[in-house]
Chain A
Amino acid sequence: MSTLRDNWRIVLLVVLLLASTVALFVPGAPPGTSANESAGGDQLTNLQYGIDLSGGARIEAPVVGMTAEGINVSVNDEADAQQAIADRLGIDPLDVEVRGVEERGENGTVEVYNENVTEDEFRTALEDEGYQPTTIRDGVTAETRERMVSVIEDKISTSALSGGRVQDVNSPGGQNFISITAPGRDADELIDILNERGVVRVYAVYQNDSTGNWTQQEVLGQDDFRNIGNAQEQDNQPQVPVVVRDGPAERFQNDMAEAGFGGGASCGVDASDHDSVDTIEGTCLVTTLNGEPVFIGGVQQSLGQSFADGSFADDPSFVMTTTSMAEARDLQLSLQAGRLPADLDFESGTQNTLSPALADQFRTNSLITGLLAVLAVSLVVYVRYRRREVALPMIVTALSEVYILLGFVAMAQYPLNLSHLAGFIAVIGTGVDDLIIIGDEILQQGEVGTARVFQSRFRKAFWVIGAAAATTIVAMVPLVGFPLGDLSGFAIITIVGVLIGVLVTRPAYGDILRNLVLDE
């Protein structure tokens, strides 16, 4: 037993190596993964690869909008204030968000998500409504960004992009932005999905009998649907079945009956002829997606009848037909995932796309590069010491450091990119440096007679190692906090690697050497 206790550092190393093996190779071992899932990774290990190594797209972009702070508006007046401010600015109420004050001392905010509104216009509109904003700044509130993140996540997962990551990235003193990573897609596809705010509206278009003017009345909005069916094709007609919520269903049926759809309506207008609902002249039910009509159709007599006699509300379902299957899918997606509170400003962001073929190349080649670097290190170490019992444990220890770090990365399900591999190489480099310090200190100052002499030399070597590790960590810490994308990942890997080295593997190497030296 005492051997075990004396060599507890080696025992710890072995335990961690085994744990890393489990984390790396046992399917489903890392938390949040299941045995058969391998999105963004490969089948062999539990490692997650970022877009550099698996292909895909990453987009970082700020949210379009302005925020006025210090607005004194109560929660109950939010809706009225929203409408009033939107009217003054001449924009859609959807582009205005009012967050009222629930308790005294809270900071009420008004956000505008329309890039055409200037700060002055915004301030004037607010003052005309009797509010005194303390500040007006670029950017939106944290609540809005959170909602952006969750809607984007929904959009990405409903569009069958698996393994995407969406993050709200804070820059201290700078612009906040949303970072979106999606493996296996290119940036254009991703932007197409995101560019659409996904605003769905349903209008009833009808003619006033006396004046002959056409009225476009909004009868259903995005949030009025209870259930959205899958886009499907029936009788060569792409369609999306929908069910309306109870409250809105009643309002919808009354509106429709009043508008004169009670007896059904034949429409006779083609959706592909119109860019906007305003130009449509025909008694039609119109669905728009981001303002563009995707469905223009009449109302079947039986459906019209149900509006008139009030039975529609008992079974508030109908189908929206579209001109193409692609449109039907877009419509379904927008209805399901909801709309983005605001647009993303892609022009002021970054975007990257990497083809899976190149990523595959990178993966294999960077592995080879890493192995070659290790080989070079081993060669130099061996040539320098010419003693297998010194050089071999050194190389094995340095490699186990990398192995444990890989285990950690697999456990954390951290997606690996090229910059992280650079971090691994930095870790091998400092790791071997430190082992050389230990080796030299112990071996090259005359015979090691007793365990006590060994201990004292080891402690001396460790002072240098600890000091060097501390400086490396100090040098890397600021990067972790800054929104520098890959650079932050590199810093995290390096810090964790140095910690594993100082706390586990380098002390273990000392124990290994002691056994070798004192046995002689």
Chain B
Amino acid sequence: MVAFEVPEVDYTQYSNRQLIAIPLVVLAVALGVLAVTYAMTGSPVALGNDFTGGSEIKVQSSEPISEQQATDLFGDTVVSVQEVSGQDQYIITFERSADVSDLTDTAEEADGITVLQSGSTSAVFGEQSQRFALMGVGIAFLGMSLLAFALFRTFVPSIAIVISAFSDIVIPVAIMNLVGIKLSLGTVAALLMLIGYSVDSDILLNNHVLRRSGGFYESTYRAMRTGVTMTLTSIAAMTVMAIAATLFGIDLMASIGIVLVLGLTADLMNTYMLNVTLLRWYKYEGVNR
């Protein structure tokens, strides 16, 4: 088995501008995606049934179900049919006008179909969840920011943590929009987890650079060695979880896994390009001002 060592990056080769450009461009593109989605749909993220209201049933079927077949069976309220890989299971989504008990009855009467799961959320309820989820993420982010400022008490290092956490959340949300993962209560949980994970490595870096003796590059390398190991461990765990859960058809865990893999990867970039650069600027130029 090969041992892996975190490679030492020679930051002196790159200027602050060069380093910070990439994460900022990625962030800008991500924000652009959200803006376009907002312009097209009226919401910056594609919302799932949890937030818009609607019905969904998951069925076991001996024969494949196409969207056409679903519409024939259930009528025009069918929005989409999604196959759960390799399990002969299908998730059928309906508009919120559909009555879930009728749908379940219809499905039960059809040949070769067993209803495994059914759920519906009313529009009123979805709106309420939407409001609370937004408030939840907002308050969590605000609390995290205040705590960051309380811990380091200087502007640049604290704002570095806040920006990189913000970017860590925005990038996966943008990718979710692009690949068609809708926001559900489960993915909101994953975004909140990201706040925690993201801050871990940022605090570690700031702590090594600001509160320890030793030169900037040496401190940065030490923090990287630990921080990259941490993030890679989490990425490994989440990749395995995302793959296993997808194969098993556990959507909630699969989407949490995917969101976290995306977010943690974004975190590697943000921490060791964006945050490091802001800290270097602060250490060499900012302090003297």
Query: Chain A residues in contact with chain B, CB under 8 A?
Result: 60, 171, 174-175, 177, 186-188, 191, 347-355, 357-358, 361-362, 365-366, 368-370, 372-377, 379-381, 383-384, 386, 418-419, 421-423, 425-426, 428-430, 432-433, 436-437, 440-441, 444-445, 460, 463-464, 467-468, 470-472, 474-479, 482-487, 490-491, 494
Contacts and interface: CB of A to CB of B under 8 A. Distances in A.
Given A437-B226, A440-B226, A485-B185, A350 B244 contact: no
B286 interface: no
A429 B252 contact: no
B140 A478 contact: yes
A470 B250 contact: no
A484 B119 CA distance: 16
Interface stretch (B40-48, B70-78, B123-131): B123-131
A484 B196 contact: no
B185 A422 contact: no
Nearest to A52: B252
B209 interface: no
Question: What is the interface of chain A mostly: helix, strand, loop, or mixed?
Answer: helix
Interface in B87-101: 100-101
Interface residues of B, number: 74
Nearest to A350: B121
Interface string B93-127: 00000001100100000000011111111101100
A477 B248 contact: no
A421 B253 contact: yes
Given A377-B237, A472-B196, A351 B204 contact: no
Contacts of A351: 100, 118-120
Instruction: Please report whether the interface of chain B is mostly helix, strand, loop or mixed according to DSSP.
Output: helix
A194 to B, nearest CB: 13
B199 interface: yes
B126 to A, nearest CB: 8
Contacts of B197: 429-430, 433
Interface of B: 1-4, 58, 100-101, 104, 114-122, 124-125, 128-129, 131-133, 135-136, 139-141, 143-144, 146-148, 151, 185-186, 188-190, 192-193, 195-197, 199-200, 203-204, 207, 211-212, 222, 225-226, 229-230, 232-234, 236-241, 244-245, 248-250, 252-253, 256
Given A386-B3, A421-B253, A440 B117 contact: no
B122 A347 contact: yes
Contacts of A425: 237, 241, 253, 256
B250 A362 contact: yes
A352 B118 contact: yes
A349 B122 contact: yes
Contacts of B2: 383
B248 A188 contact: no
B3 A384 contact: yes
B117 A436 contact: no
A369 B207 contact: no
Contacts of A357: 116
A397 to B, nearest CB: 14
A433 B200 contact: yes
Contacts of A468: 196, 199-200, 203-204
A187 B250 CA distance: 21
Contact of B143 (A60, A370, A376, A475): A475
Given A351-B100, A477-B143, A373 B240 contact: yes
B117 A475 contact: no
Contact of B230 (A348, A349, A433, A445): A433
Among all A-B residue pairs, the 10 with the closest Cβ atoms:
A472-B196, A365-B248, A474-B143, A475-B140, A478-B139, A352-B119, A358-B116, A440-B226, A376-B240, A369-B244
Contact of A174 (B131, B195, B229): B131
A350 B248 CA distance: 26
B144 A175 contact: no
8 contacts: A174-B128, A357-B116, A373-B238, A377-B237, A425-B241, A444-B222, A479-B136, A487-B188
Contacts of B4: 383-384
Contact of A436 (B58, B144, B230): B230
A358 B147 contact: no
Given A175-B128, A429-B234, A440-B226, A366 B136 contact: no
B14 to A, nearest CB: 25
Contact of A422 (B125, B233, B253): B253
B119 A350 contact: yes
B236 A437 contact: no
B122 A375 contact: no
Contact of A418 (B119, B240, B241, B253): B253
A347 B96 CA distance: 10
A467 B151 contact: yes
Contact of B240 (A375, A470, A494): A375
A484 B133 CA distance: 8
B245 A355 contact: no
A486 B195 CA distance: 19
Contacts of A379: 236
A419 B252 contact: yes
A1 B143 CA distance: 44
A490 B187 CA distance: 12
B122 A372 contact: no
B250 to A, nearest CB: 6
